[in-house]
Amino acid sequence: MEPENDTWISEFVLLGLSEEPELQPFLFGLFLSMYLVTVLGNLLIILATISDSHLHTPMYFFLSNLSFADICFISTTIPKMLINIQTQSRVITYAGCITQMCFFVLFGGLDSLLLAVMAYDRFVAICHPLHYTVIMNPRLCGLLVLASWMIAALNSLSQSLMVLWLSFCTDLEIPHFFCELNQVIHLACSDTFLNDMGMYFAAGLLAGGPLVGILCSYSKIVSSIRAISSARGKYKAFSTCASHLSVVSLFCCTGLGVYLTSAATHNSHSSATASVMYTVATPMLNPFIYSLRNKDIKRALKMSFRGKQ
């Protein structure tokens, strides 16, 4: 992959979700509210799991890691978007763009892998309840999270290094509200075949792979739930699975769909709008889906706040 233009690129231009001036205050208020709700909600989950010893279990350990990843995930994109709207500037430096892209790919991949790990945890809890504490021991839980971090980091590093080899010409406008990998690659003047192959391989591995694992886990979970004689036990098991599957459907399916359809369509506006679902909406909804109907989390938060008074 040899560069065709040796001109040093100092900055890109982020076109955002809309170029209409009258929509900018609305977008600023909307995304600022969503960002604050996301950070506060996920921080409360982390606080609850740390402060209450009853929540020191594999399920809540993975949930707190997912909450941390969600905070980092949304923090890679929204603050820069809000700054650009407030300052009425759409410029992002070359280094800033590569850095944003690197962390976005890192935490996006980490989210997907953690959701797969949580599906495995539910599989063991429902299908092998008597051996749950033996199988899901602290060492295995730590290794699963560490492996997720390492795989996501290796993918992020490799994707970013491959982008550094690309050369860019005069068209530096990114039709997105952040430096999305696919959009940056398609701005290059040089050959992007290896980048495209690497991007789609990573999308299949870090989105399609976990999704297949989740579906396999839940196919066995459904079989085990059908064997439960108690209607109350069935309802409890299904309610736990429904929350997780809601997040999986919103995050993995939308994210994978954006990447796979981007090759067949040139409608960047719809791609940017669809990206909002898995980059902003999913991290914001996770605390509501997992915690607001969870009595253990509510109790832990109440005890934590009472202790501070």
State the DSSP H helix or E strand holding residue 116, giving kind and residue range, or none if neither: helix 94-127
Please, what is the average pLDDT of the chain? Answer: 84
Would you state the pLDDT for residue 75? 96
Q: Residue 291 sits in a domain of what CATH number?
A: 1.20.1070.10
Would you state the pLDDT for residue 21? 84
Phi (first) and psi of residue 265, to 5 degrees: -135, 155
Residue 306 located in a structural domain: no
Residue 308 located in a structural domain: no
Would you state the pLDDT for residue 4? 42
Residue 96 located in a structural domain: yes
Would you state the pLDDT for residue 3? 43
Domain that holds residue 97: 11-301
Residue 249: CA atoms inside 13 Å, Cβ hemisphere, count?
A: 7
Residues listed for the chain: 309
Would you state the pLDDT for residue 256? 62
Phi (first) and psi of residue 56, to 5 degrees: -85, 65
Residue 55 located in a structural domain: yes
Residue 288 located in a structural domain: yes
Residue 144 located in a structural domain: yes
Q: Which residue has the tokens 């980091």?
A: 153
How far is 148 from 111, CA to CA, in rounded Å? 9
Per the CB < 8 A criterion, the answer to whether 113 and 145 are in contact is no
In a 3-state reduction of DSSP, which class is residue 188?
strand
**Furthest-apart CA atoms within the chain: distance in Å:** 70
Would you state the pLDDT for residue 102? 96
Residue 309 located in a structural domain: no
List the chain residues with pLDDT less than 50. 1-7, 309
Per the CB < 8 A criterion, the answer to whether 252 and 112 are in contact is yes
Residue 5 located in a structural domain: no
pTM recorded for the entire structure: 0.89
How far is 195 from 193, CA to CA, in rounded Å? 5
Number of domains in the chain: 1
